[in-house]
């Protein structure tokens, strides 16, 4: 009997080593090496693969000008939000990795997407749930589709035998961490198993031109479970996120070979499944009967989509020796920078105040154009004077107190006008790119923090 061969793999990046190492030389993470059995009969794997794809073409060297350039074919899904995030639809032959926390709704969303594609023969492979559990969920979604097929299996060899019989036009795998390749003798979910199973589906997707969705788990620190090489192997990486205390879910693109990585789709979790939210601005701005201080509306842009979101600030006298700085959905260091600008340029004594900041709706915003709204919300709470509910803001704040220009200003103004706002504060350096004649909303150009203060208070 031959000796079992083992190796050590970094669970973060997939680096292979003959012995255990405390620190990974590739990604420099500590204590990430795990021992795995790597006995693998490659000849058997290769012969099985040839049986599955008898019509595969042989590889040969060709010059670049011999390649015929064609636009990628896309399958138009019934979900406008998914189409937006993927860059215009599902690309044939692409492999998409979707990751998210447990219970966030990944399985529900992609079961729903598969059921809605009535004209596409879809295979849903589940390694986590039984057929009865999936049927119960499908009944709750209340969508009928005779072209939708189920397979509850974890062995990739058995899966590809069934795929050969059905020849599906779309494959959804839930989840990649539960699958096991017979050619690797380690347990399901290990670094080498995840990498090998993904490689097998990648070969299948490219050689049969079938799109594949791989649903994946995430670790406790929010990164995708498995080696980092997994994200390099796939064409698109989507992150499905949201606070379980809110009904909203966000589908965000982290990598996309066929479109922009700045797009996001917004869904609302309902009893009948995931409902695509076409106008998120109306949901993200809370309706109030009375005007309250410390609230400002920011005109931001996520990808191609303009969003109006509510910024809430609370400034109170500090009870403890060291003032508190607490944020939700915003960068804490950015807040400290804005407070320093107000202290230095405006003479406001925030050094003795506790400051709390929240982006309403559970969103996390990275767009620097939200700076001006954050600054105005802080000033409103400091002075305890409410801002007009019909005013919004779009501008980045520099360290010298100047209001800097932001991109795609016309889209932001148009969205604010559509939602019934009467005034928008923008940087005066943005005026070159704005045709003020075509907007009914009042555009207020400002150049410095002091100007904003005198205009508002």
Tokens 């609230």 found at: 295
**Does 102 count as an annotated binding residue?**
yes
CA distance 253 to 172: 18
Q: Is the pLDDT of residue 435 over 70?
A: no
Residue 116, C-beta contacts closer than 8 angstroms, at least 6 positions apart: 77, 78, 79, 143, 145
State pTM to two decimals. Answer: 0.77
DSSP string, 321-380: SSPPEEEESS-HHHHHHHHHHIIIII---GGGEEEEEEEGGG-----GGGHHHHHHHHHH
Considering only 55-64, 300-309, 316-325, which range has the smallest mean pLDDT? 55-64
Pairwise CA distance, residues 179 & 362, whole Å: 33
| Per-residue pLDDT, 43 | 47
Instruction: Return mean pLDDT, the chain.
Output: 86
| Ligand-binding site membership of 106 (annotated) | yes
Please say if the pLDDT value at position 70 is more than 80. Answer: no
Report pLDDT for 136. Answer: 92
362 is in an annotated binding site: no
3-state secondary structure of 90: strand
Q: Binning pLDDT at 50, 70 and 90, where does residue 310 land?
A: very high
The predicted structure's pLDDT at residue 57: 61
CATH dotted code for 75-278 = 3.40.50.300
Please write the tens of the pLDDT for every residue from 87-130. Answer: 889 999 999 999 988 888 899 999 999 999 999 999 999 998 99
Q: What class has domain 282-456?
A: alpha beta
Work out the angle at residue 414's Cα, subtended by the Cα atoms of residues 413 and 417, and round it to the nearest 5 degrees. Answer: 85
For residue 100, say whether it is annotated as part of any ligand binding site. Answer: yes
Whether the predicted pLDDT of 373 surpasses 90: yes
For the segment 131-146, the average pLDDT, to the nearest whole number, is 91
- 153 marked ligand binding residue: no
| CB of 90 closer than 8 Å to CB of 75 | yes
Q: Is 226 annotated as a binding residue?
A: no
Give the number of other CB atoms < 10 A from CB of residue 128: 15
Q: Within the chain, what is the greatest distance between any pair of CA atoms?
A: 85
């Amino acid at each position: 009997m031959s000796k079992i061969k083992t190796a050590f793999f970094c669970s973060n990046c997939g680096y292979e080593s003959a012995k255990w190492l405390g620190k990974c030389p590739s990604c420099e993470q500590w204590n990430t090496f795990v021992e795995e059995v790597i006995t693998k009969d490659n000849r058997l794997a290769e012969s099985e693969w040839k049986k599955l794809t008898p019509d595969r073409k042989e590889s040969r060297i060709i010059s670049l000008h011999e390649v015929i350039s064609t636009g990628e074919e896309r399958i138009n899904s019934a979900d406008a939000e998914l189409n937006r995030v993927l860059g215009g639809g599902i690309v044939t032959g692409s492999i998409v990795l979707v990751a998210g926390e447990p219970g966030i709704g990944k399985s529900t969303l992609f079961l729903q997407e598969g059921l809605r594609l009535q004209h596409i023969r879809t295979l849903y492979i589940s390694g986590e749930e039984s057929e009865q559990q999936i049927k119960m969920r499908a009944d709750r979604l209340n969508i009928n589709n005779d072209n939708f097929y189920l397979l509850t299996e974890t062995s990739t060899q058995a899966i590809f035998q069934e795929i050969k019989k059905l020849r599906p036009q779309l494959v959804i795998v839930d989840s990649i961490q539960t699958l096991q390749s017979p050619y690797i003798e380690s347990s399901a979910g290990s670094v080498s198993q995840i990498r090998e199973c993904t490689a097998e589906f990648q070969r299948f997707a490219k050689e049969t031109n079938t799109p594949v969705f791989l649903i994946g788990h995430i670790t406790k620190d929010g990164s995708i479970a498995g080696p980092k090489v997994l994200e390099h192997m796939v064409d698109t990486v989507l992150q499905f996120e949201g606070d379980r205390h809110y009904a909203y879910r966000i589908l965000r693109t982290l990598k996309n070979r066929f479109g922009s990585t700045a797009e996001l789709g917004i869904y609302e979790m309902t009893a009948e499944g995931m409902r695509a939210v076409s106008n998120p601005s109306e949901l993200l701005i809370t309706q109030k009967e009375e005007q309250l201080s410390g609230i400002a509306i920011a005109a931001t842009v996520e990808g191609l989509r303009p969003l109006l979101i509510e910024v809430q600030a609370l400034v109170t006298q500090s009870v403890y020796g060291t003032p508190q700085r607490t944020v939700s959905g915003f960068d804490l260091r950015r807040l400290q920078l804005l407070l320093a600008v107000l202290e230095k340029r405006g003479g406001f004594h925030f050094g003795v105040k506790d400051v709390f900041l929240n982006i309403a709706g559970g969103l996390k915003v990275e767009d620097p154009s939200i700076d001006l709204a954050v600054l105005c919300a802080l000033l409103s709470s400091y002075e305890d004077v409410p801002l007009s509910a019909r005013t919004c803001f779009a501008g980045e704040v520099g360290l010298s107190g100047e209001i800097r220009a932001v991109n795609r200003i016309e889209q932001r103004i148009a969205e604010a006008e559509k939602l019934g706002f009467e005034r928008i504060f923008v940087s005066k350096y943005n005026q070159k790119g704005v045709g003020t004649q075509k907007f009914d909303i009042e555009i207020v150009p400002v150049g410095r923090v002091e100007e904003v203060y005198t205009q508002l208070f």
